[in-house]
Amino acid sequence: MASSTALISDTEAWKDLKGHVEDIKKTHLRDLMTDANRCQSMMMEFDGLLLDYSRQRATVETVDKLLNLAKAAQLTEKISRMFNGEHINSTENRSVLHVALRAPKDAVIKADGKNVVPEVWNVLDKIKEFSEKIRSGSWVGTTGKPLKDVIAIGIGGSFLGPLFVHTALQTDPEALESAKGRQLRFLANIDPVDVARNINGLNPETTLVVVVSKTFTTAETMLNARTLREWITAALGASAVAKHMVAVSTNLALVEKFGIDPNNAFAFWDWVGGRYSVCSAVGVLPLSLQYGFSVVEKFLKGASSIDQHFQSTPIEKNIPVLLGLLSVWNVSFLGYPARAILPYSQALEKFAPHIQQVSMESNGKGVSIDGLPLPFETGEIDFGEPGTNGQHSFYQLIHQGRVIPCDFIGIVKSQQPVYLKGEVVSNHDELMSNFFAQPDALAYGKTPEQLQKENVSENLIPHKTFSGNRPSLSLLLPELTAYNVGQLLAIYEHRVAVQGFVWGINSFDQWGVELGKVLATHVRKQLHSSRTQGTTLEGFNYSTTTLLKRYLETSSEPQM
Ligand code: F6P
């Protein structure tokens, strides 16, 4: 077993897997897929979901060795420590308890000795009451009109998760019905173009602005909040802030300082990481305003179902654990640096951008949790697009260029089925034909012999050959309701945690985002003094000085 200060790469289990890579290199998925027993052992079902990882470059022996690695990494213990509220985010001295955000009312989850579930439900009940007031029109704007449009301001974790869920629910029949006549928009980028896009066509009289920021100090969010405060007060007067602006934050003192009534603030806690906060008021408030609390509650229940599975299922049958271990196998042993997230669902178009933050901000680290430099890479480069769009974009590279493990996510029942009389299949069947075909195309490829049999001309054979042996996994969801969206979210959140637990890193801090913020502060000060006092540029290297000079000399920013 690895002691807490040892690197996982020093364990026998890691070395055993390193050696095993040679065995796997001798295999081809074309052959591995003929073993029905192997394939059957690589199917996992839970709560309506079906995971098939038989197209991973792994044998039953590989999975056993990965489970041994999990034991060497004390994975089960680490999962328990997370659920028990221990300060596993040691560099910030915090618990990691996003699971408490979706726990049933009667659950007991403690942080620092105190059950946090009642506090969570206090906020959820407050959101329920507030969102019902807004939706029913009993809370109106300063001119007496109902607030039918919402702009949620926030960035990173205070944006990507809520946007993903909103996009996923937009076409769900139940959610669609309950959102009638309402709009939800997200203002994230400090680019003023994003402000223009967000306010385009909206009337301050009927708009509610929700400022979402864990810290309430994020430069982009705060400037965007001041910009929309100006938009509201210019039209409706200073007192309109009380009716038209609310906040979600852990920093209620700064919310009040900003001018938002603390009664109109929705709290969360420092044991919720930004990128893990979509189940807190960060996501629940804007989504409840748009869809009603009862729809959002189903989303929380879906996530909670996976939490319980993750917490209590033995590792060999535990979906997030298996997914996490396979990712470690692909990254650290097979050497594949990237992963493609390919939902065959337009409603999941914002899933990959959300998982990019969850995964890359969590696991892109260079040292172990104890500060030791890592002799191996962690994290993977996540990207993705819905199928079939991606097929007509970057799949060429995945089929014949670099090997990129793929996650195929399919939905059995479409949110919006269409069948045209006379067509061979329904539109959703057409979509899903691709979902089922692509993993085999990657796994099996096409040999020169097959091409010769098809009388392909000799000069084209190398171009039309597919090496195959390209790993993927398939996750099939019964439908895409709020509940299933919650399940999907929690599976990926926990998978990322599993990877971090095995690599022995802290997946819950993000020091890597700080340096750029500090340097931007220097630039901001310089821009101010150059524009207001004509100060010459100082303290920048040749490159930045040249670029800044060009920017200042040729830009036409409004006068200060
Ligand atoms: O810059 C990264 C980050 O700190 C993320 O981790 C976080 O989700 C985002 O900024 C927004 O932070 P906040 O919610 O405090 O505004």
Active site residue 392: yes
Q: Of how many residues is the chain composed?
A: 560
User: How far, in Å, from the CA of 383 to the mean position of ligand 1?
Assistant: 20
CA geometry: angle 427, 344, 277, nearest 5 deg: 135
Which strand (E) or helix (H) includes residue 153? strand 149-153
Q: Which atom of ligand 1 is nearest to the CA of 160?
A: 8
Protein residue with least CA distance to atom 8, ligand 1:
157
Catalytic residue among 15, 317, 517, 525: 517
Please give the CATH superfamily to which domain 13-84+313-414+427-503 belongs: Glucose-6-phosphate isomerase like protein; domain 1 (3.40.50.10490)
Q: Where are the domains positioned within the chain?
A: 13-84+313-414+427-503, 98-298, 514-554
Residue nearest to atom 1 of ligand 1 (CA): 513
**Residue 21: how many other CB atoms lie within 10 Å:** 15
> Residue 273 is encoded by which pair of tokens?
């990481």
Ligand 1 atom with the smallest distance to the CA of 517 is 1
> Residue 73 has what DSSP assignment?
T
Hey, which of 94, 223, 224, 513 would you mutate to test ligand 1's pocket, going by the most ligand atoms within 8 Å of its Cβ?
513
**285 and 133 in contact (C-beta within 8 Å)?**
no
Pocket of ligand 1 (CB under 6 A): 155-158, 213-215, 218, 221, 274-275, 361, 510, 513
Mind listing the pLDDT tens digit for each residue in 188-232?
Answer: 999 999 999 999 999 999 999 999 999 999 999 999 999 999 999
Q: For residues 32 and 526, is the Cβ–Cβ distance under 8 A?
A: no
- Give the residue ranges of DSSP H helices in 73-172: 75-83, 117-136, 160-169
Contact 500, 363 (CB under 8 A): yes
**pLDDT of 5:** 59
- pLDDT under 70 in the chain at which residues? 1-5, 559-560
Taking the centre of ligand 1 as the mean of its atom positions, its distance from the CA of residue 347, in whole angstroms, is 25
Give this prediction's pTM: 0.97
Q: Are the C-beta atoms of residues 132 and 296 closer than 8 Å to each other?
A: no
SS3 488: helix
- Residue 3 is predicted with a pLDDT of 46
Report CA(80)–ligand 1 centroid distance (Å): 26
Q: What is the pLDDT of residue 122?
A: 98
Q: 183-187 and 43-46 as β-strands: parallel, antiparallel, unpaired?
A: unpaired
- What pLDDT was estimated at residue 345? 98
Q: How far apart are CA 485 and CA 345, in angstroms?
A: 12
| Residue for token pair 């100082």 | 538
- Selecting among 392, 413, 522, 525, the annotated active-site residue is 392
CATH 3.40.50.720 corresponds to the domain 98-298: no
Say if 13-84+313-414+427-503 and 98-298 have the same CATH topology. yes
212 close to 175: Cβ distance less than 8 angstroms: no
Give the per-residue pLDDT at 6: 86
3-state helix, strand, coil in the chain (%, to 5): 55, 10, 35
**Catalytic-role residue among 205, 297, 361, 380:** 361
Comparing CA positions, the residue from 523, 516, 550 lying closest to residue 538 is 523
Give the residue, by CA position, lying nearest to ligand 1 atom 3.
Answer: 156
Examine the residue annotation and report whether 517 is marked as an active-site residue of this protein.
yes
- Distance separating alpha carbons of residues 212 and 244, to the nearest angstrom: 14
Among residues 409, 341, 417, which one has the least CA distance to residue 171? 417
The pLDDT assigned to 2 comes to 44
Q: Where are the beta strands (DSSP E) in 388-544?
A: 406-413, 472-479
Q: Report the C-alpha gap between 277 and 110 in whole angstroms.
A: 18
CA of 242 to the centre of ligand 1 (A): 25
Token readout for 254 is 């700064």
What's the sign of the alpha-carbon dihedral 370, 373, 378, 379? positive
| Burial environment of residue 136 by CB neighbours within 10 A (0 to 12, 13 to 18, 19 or more) | exposed
Cα 115 to chain centroid distance, Å, stands at 27
In ligand 1, which atom is closest to the CA atom of 514?
A: 1
How much distance in Å is there from the Cα of 364 to the middle of ligand 1?
Answer: 16
Atom of ligand 1 nearest to the CA of 282: 14
Q: Answer whether 218's CB lies under 8 Å from 231's CB.
A: no
Report the pLDDT value the prediction gives residue 443, as an integer from 0 to 100: 98
513 Cα to the center of ligand 1, angstroms: 9
The predicted pLDDT at position 560 comes to 59
| Backbone phi and psi for residue 253, each to the nearest 5 degrees, phi listed first | -65, -45
The number of the ligand 1 atom at minimal distance from the alpha carbon of 158 is: 14
Extract the tokens encoding 123.
Answer: 């906020």
